Chains A and B, each alone.
Chain A
Amino acid sequence: MIPFDQILVQIVNGLVNGMILALVASGLTLIFGIMDIVNFAHGDLFMLGAYLGTTSFLVTGNFWVSLLTAVLSMAVLGLVFQAAALRPLLGRDPLTTILATFGISLVIQNYALWQYGPVPRRLPEPVTGHFQLFYVEYPWYRLVIALMSAAIIGGLYLFMKYGKHGIWIRATTQDRVMAEAMGIPVPWVHTVVFAIGAAMAAAAGVLFGPTVGINHAMGFDFTLRAFVVVVVGGMGNLGGSILASIFISLLESLATIWVSPAQAVIVSFVALILTLLVRPTGIFAPTPK
């Protein structure tokens, strides 16, 4: 008999982790959906965002200002990366863009190592304190991360649904040629989408930063998991990726009740393989008509 408290603790864990993962994955899926680019540098944008947060915190001493500064700075950097390294590759073999993002990843990692040194950095959490969740003291800050992630993703959803430029992005996703024919500046849409993806990765990095030692290798774990949820949710499907993040995180968390968390990761890979075998378009993607 599994104790009820263990199940509830793991559900809360799964939901919180799922929201952080959703924030990372939504940027990744947005970039893929619009540009057909598998962005291997996404985890490194997450890491660089966290580092920029520490720099900004040293100057301002305010976490929320640091979050905003890091997000804006990474958006600008995203513009530069896309314009300099990816825009010239538009329409080429997807392998070239994969290699380009892999190159960007190596550049960012080594830049972070050179600029910030190898020693982990600290970013203090803006909200301290705990509440009792059965047998564990749960930090309020983890709930703040989940809520902030939900707010950012919600903001993106509203922008995509009702904003003029959001409609441009959706139109470009649906039919690039037709969008261009209707006067939408498609190359610029690509650049801005990459900037939005980079900004979202940075937001996730800064929000997650206080729970870890910020280091140049922190993005790798998230990149791998984000790729799993993007495939399970449907490549390029924003809503699907968010649902898949929560689904996969909940599955993993509940599995830890019976097996070690290290073994629970297998659950997400089983879900990935099953998705590719049974429904390659993604579990949460609408059925093509």
Chain B
Amino acid sequence: MKLTEKWHDELWARDMWWSGKTTRRKFLGLSAAAAGAVGATMLVPAPWREAFGQAKPYKVGVLQPLTGAAAAGGKTALVGTQLATNRINKAGGINGRPIELVVADYESKPDVGRRKAEKLVVEDKVDVGEGGYLSNVCLACMPVFEEHKTVYMIGVCLDTTITTSKCNRYTFRPFDYAPSQAMAISPYLVKNLGKKWHIVFLDYAWGQSTRDAYIEQIKKNGGEIQGTTGIPLGTADMTAFISKITGSFDGLFAIMFGANAVTFTNQAYDLGLFKKAKYAGDGAVAESTHLAALGNKIEGFVGVNRYIPVLTKPLDTPYHKKFFDESKVLLKQMDPAGPDPDRYVQSNFEAMNFLKLGIQKSGFRGREDSMKLIEALEGMEVKESDDFPQGDKLLRREDHQAFLRQFIFDIKNVRHRLLDVVSRDKVVVPPACSFPKA
């Protein structure tokens, strides 16, 4: 066959080109080609889609412990991130771009966490990081995000040093920390429950820094610390530790979370410790997700928390009701018992909404605009709303630490009961961070 410059004049190509006359064959052929082209764009890889101008999603790298000792908290925390993402994407995304979550399970191990954080920023090329649950993992991952100039919006980690001695410009904590919580509940503890306290804490980064904060505040309010007991994370049988808690004290203050809290409460109750002293602690001891596992052994516990699942005043707002109902639907998918949302759902939900506002305000396009995003987030003040059902917040410029109201509660009939609300201005701690120069 001779090649010709006008190859469409060839016999075999005659029906493919417009010749001024629409035949049924041409119509069907062109329709099939158009449908094929539309279908093909849906199948092409993301970089090609971007080249063709479709909205490129914001990639958010989410670090959570979905297996291992802290899986319960990690899975609950992820519900908060997913809930906020669903809402944002349903409303058309941020600046017209949807959010794509890249979820990494760090198996409750700091070394795995650091490796996964590196994978997120180097291989997955995420625009921002979010999440974290165990403080030692957050502390291990913070330098990775800093090195790659990526904003890291922490979702749960409460270790004090994250926004004090180990702070960095790329890390934000959009919820409370132990010094604020201690400030909120210590006057109540000393005034209503007793002066002499024994503190039991989980012996790792968060437990140790939280213990120090409570020692300082209980003493400041006229109380005394009779002793402290550290229990390693994941100890199955705590009786050896509990049976060593002796002496005279009015209250036992526990700094525990998840299955560790359940084990401690069970065994301390069994050894009659709560008959001798009042039982109080960090709100994580009595999160709604494991109240059922604690049963009547947690009755009378007094705690402080940034979030409790009650719908009485001042938490009877439409924002909270909507958050509560939507969270329950997702939580039911995770656990058929359908637990109420807890502070891990709340803080990850609000962390994503802080990112949303920051991205909107700064016009952030990707990691090259990280500094613009940081500047937009620094000093950001938000009001109680659909995006922030917990209440008003300030994300302080100096240390990237948020300040918010605190709830003092007790457990009655295996439910949370609100006792007092401590306003935001009463829990402000002076900044103790100086960012290294960029």
Residue in A110, A139, A141, A217 whose beta carbon sits within 8 Å of that of B234 in the complex: A217
In the bound assembly, the distance between CA atoms of A85 and B211 in angstroms comes to 47
A-B contacts, 30 listed (Cβ < 8 Å): A10-B240, A17-B239, A110-B67, A117-B75, A117-B336, A118-B75, A119-B72, A119-B335, A120-B72, A120-B259, A120-B290, A122-B292, A122-B293, A136-B243, A137-B275, A138-B271, A139-B271, A211-B237, A211-B267, A211-B270, A215-B258, A216-B71, A217-B68, A217-B71, A217-B259, A256-B240, A261-B244, A262-B203, A262-B231, A262-B232
**Closest approach, in angstroms, between the C-beta of A263 and any C-beta of chain B?**
10
- Comparing A70-78, A151-159, A218-226, A232-240, the segment that makes contact with chain B is A218-226
**Closest approach, in angstroms, between the C-beta of B383 and any C-beta of chain A?**
33
A214: which B residues are within 8 A, CB to CB?
Answer: 293
Contact A211 B71 (CB under 8 A): no
A216: which B residues are within 8 A, CB to CB?
Answer: 71
B232: which A residues are within 8 A, CB to CB?
Answer: 262
Contact A119 B289 (CB under 8 A): yes
In the bound assembly, the distance between CA atoms of A141 and B271 in angstroms comes to 11
In the bound assembly, the distance between CA atoms of A139 and B293 in angstroms comes to 19
Digit string of A1-37 for contact with B (CB within 8 Å is 1, else 0)? Answer: 0000000011001000100100000000000000000
Contact B290 A13 (CB under 8 A): no
In the bound assembly, the distance between CA atoms of A158 and B203 in angstroms comes to 43
Given the known interface contacts A118-B335, A136-B272, A215-B72, the answer about A124 and B236 at a Cβ–Cβ threshold of 8 Å is no
**Closest approach, in angstroms, between the C-beta of B343 and any C-beta of chain A?**
15
Contact B237 A120 (CB under 8 A): no
Digit string of B313-343 for contact with A (CB within 8 Å is 1, else 0)? Answer: 0000000000000000000001111010000
Contact B230 A117 (CB under 8 A): no
Given the known interface contacts A119-B293, A221-B234, the answer about A212 and B262 at a Cβ–Cβ threshold of 8 Å is yes
In the bound assembly, the distance between CA atoms of A55 and B179 in angstroms comes to 41
A138: which B residues are within 8 A, CB to CB?
Answer: 271
Given the known interface contacts A218-B236, A260-B230, A262-B231, the answer about A10 and B270 at a Cβ–Cβ threshold of 8 Å is no
A162 within 8 A of B: no
Given the known interface contacts A213-B259, A221-B234, A221-B235, the answer about A261 and B275 at a Cβ–Cβ threshold of 8 Å is no
Contact B270 A213 (CB under 8 A): no
B294 within 8 A of A: yes
**Closest approach, in angstroms, between the C-beta of A136 and any C-beta of chain B?**
5
B74 within 8 A of A: yes
Closest to A124 in B: B295
Digit string of B59-84 for contact with A (CB within 8 Å is 1, else 0)? Answer: 00000000111011111100000000
A217: which B residues are within 8 A, CB to CB?
Answer: 68-69, 71, 108, 234, 259
Contact A213 B240 (CB under 8 A): no
A211: which B residues are within 8 A, CB to CB?
Answer: 237, 263, 266-267, 270
In the bound assembly, the distance between CA atoms of A238 and B241 in angstroms comes to 29
**Closest approach, in angstroms, between the C-beta of A16 and any C-beta of chain B?**
8
B108: which A residues are within 8 A, CB to CB?
Answer: 217
Digit string of B235-260 for contact with A (CB within 8 Å is 1, else 0)? Answer: 11101110110100000000000110
B231: which A residues are within 8 A, CB to CB?
Answer: 261-262
Contact B339 A212 (CB under 8 A): no
Given the known interface contacts A117-B334, A256-B244, the answer about A122 and B289 at a Cβ–Cβ threshold of 8 Å is no
Where the two chains meet, the residues of B that have a C-beta atom closer than 8 Å to any C-beta of A are 67-69, 71-76, 108, 203, 230-232, 234-237, 239-241, 243-244, 246, 258-259, 261-263, 266-267, 270-272, 275, 289-290, 292-295, 334-337, 339
Residue in A109, A117, A120 whose beta carbon sits within 8 Å of that of B67 in the complex: A109
A118-B71, A221-B235 given. 6 additional CB < 8 A pairs?
A13-B239, A118-B73, A136-B272, A137-B271, A213-B263, A213-B293
In the bound assembly, the distance between CA atoms of A137 and B69 in angstroms comes to 30
A44 within 8 A of B: no
Contact B272 A17 (CB under 8 A): no
A215: which B residues are within 8 A, CB to CB?
Answer: 72, 258-259, 262
**Closest approach, in angstroms, between the C-beta of B25 and any C-beta of chain A?**
54
Is chain B's binding surface mostly helix, strand, loop or mixed? helix
Given the known interface contacts A118-B75, A136-B271, A213-B266, the answer about A9 and B293 at a Cβ–Cβ threshold of 8 Å is no
In the bound assembly, the distance between CA atoms of A130 and B235 in angstroms comes to 23
A213: which B residues are within 8 A, CB to CB?
Answer: 259, 261-263, 266, 290, 293-294
**Closest approach, in angstroms, between the C-beta of A206 and any C-beta of chain B?**
14
A56 within 8 A of B: no
A218: which B residues are within 8 A, CB to CB?
Answer: 236, 259
Contact A212 B240 (CB under 8 A): no
In the bound assembly, the distance between CA atoms of A256 and B235 in angstroms comes to 15
**Closest approach, in angstroms, between the C-beta of B337 and any C-beta of chain A?**
7
In the bound assembly, the distance between CA atoms of A221 and B235 in angstroms comes to 7
Contact A221 B236 (CB under 8 A): yes
B239: which A residues are within 8 A, CB to CB?
Answer: 13, 17, 142
Closest to B68 in A: A217
Contact B295 A13 (CB under 8 A): no
Closest to B65 in A: A118
Closest to A9 in B: B243
**Closest approach, in angstroms, between the C-beta of B410 and any C-beta of chain A?**
20
In the complex, which residues 87-103 of chain A have their Cβ closer than 8 Å to any Cβ of chain B? none
In the bound assembly, the distance between CA atoms of A9 and B271 in angstroms comes to 12
Closest to A109 in B: B67
In the complex, which residues 126-149 of chain A have their Cβ closer than 8 Å to any Cβ of chain B? 130, 135-139, 141-142
Residue in A17, A122, A141 whose beta carbon sits within 8 Å of that of B295 in the complex: A122
A253 within 8 A of B: yes
Closest to B272 in A: A137
In the bound assembly, the distance between CA atoms of A262 and B336 in angstroms comes to 36
A20: which B residues are within 8 A, CB to CB?
Answer: 237
In the bound assembly, the distance between CA atoms of A118 and B337 in angstroms comes to 12
A274 within 8 A of B: no
In the bound assembly, the distance between CA atoms of A166 and B71 in angstroms comes to 41
Closest to B290 in A: A120
Residue picked from A213, A252, A256, most chain B C-beta under 10 Å: A213
B246: which A residues are within 8 A, CB to CB?
Answer: 135
**Closest approach, in angstroms, between the C-beta of B130 and any C-beta of chain A?**
19
Closest to B71 in A: A118
B290: which A residues are within 8 A, CB to CB?
Answer: 119-120, 213
**Closest approach, in angstroms, between the C-beta of A212 and any C-beta of chain B?**
4
A208: which B residues are within 8 A, CB to CB?
Answer: 236-237
